[in-house]
Amino acid sequence: MDYVVLFVSPYPLHASALARMLAPVSLKLDHVVSLKRAKNRLGTRPYGAVLTEARLPDGNWTDVLKFAGALRFAPAVLVTDRNADDSFWAEILNLGAYDLLAQPFDSSEVQRILVNACEQLRAKPVMSTPHATPHVLKAAS
């Protein structure tokens, strides 16, 4: 199956570099420059993953995570930032994102992580929110 990754970033040069990195592993990149455009695009087709800059002109990565998590087929959400560190990585994982990609991008790391994120979508049932857990109601005794 061909997967498409949505990249949310106001930086067209980052998008060009990512598209070149993903071509050898048959991942296509779709690029939008803002949260508003990401919401519009996510409503039109399923994506294997969403990679978003930590800060956007009209929001941030948590806005992308919330919106994507509410979709019927929620894609994995990954965050990228120049200031990626262990503390930020722990925060994004704790809030439900799939992973953090440091900048500048390392081609083999980008390929490995984004392929795995897309494959995860196929491998397990998708819940409506990143933190959804099944609840079992027990009859009162």
pLDDT digits (tens, 9 = 90+) for 89-100: 999 999 999 999
Separation in Å, CA 51 to CA 30, 38, 83, 99, 140: 10, 11, 16, 9, 45
- The answer to whether the Cα torsion of 92, 93, 95, 96 is positive or negative is positive
Q: Enter the pTM of the model.
A: 0.84
What percent of the chain is helix, strand and coil (3-state, nearest 5)? 40, 20, 40
Residues 107-135: pLDDT tens digits?
A: 999 999 999 999 886 554 545 444 443 33
Tokens of 57: 């002109």
- Residue 121 is predicted with a pLDDT of 65
Indicate the residue type of 26. S
89 CB-side CA count, 13 A: 8
Residues 11-66: pLDDT tens digits?
A: 999 999 999 999 999 999 999 999 999 999 998 989 999 999 999 999 999 999 99
- Residue 2 is predicted with a pLDDT of 81
What is the set of domains in the chain, with CATH numbers? Answer: 3-123 (3.40.50.2300)
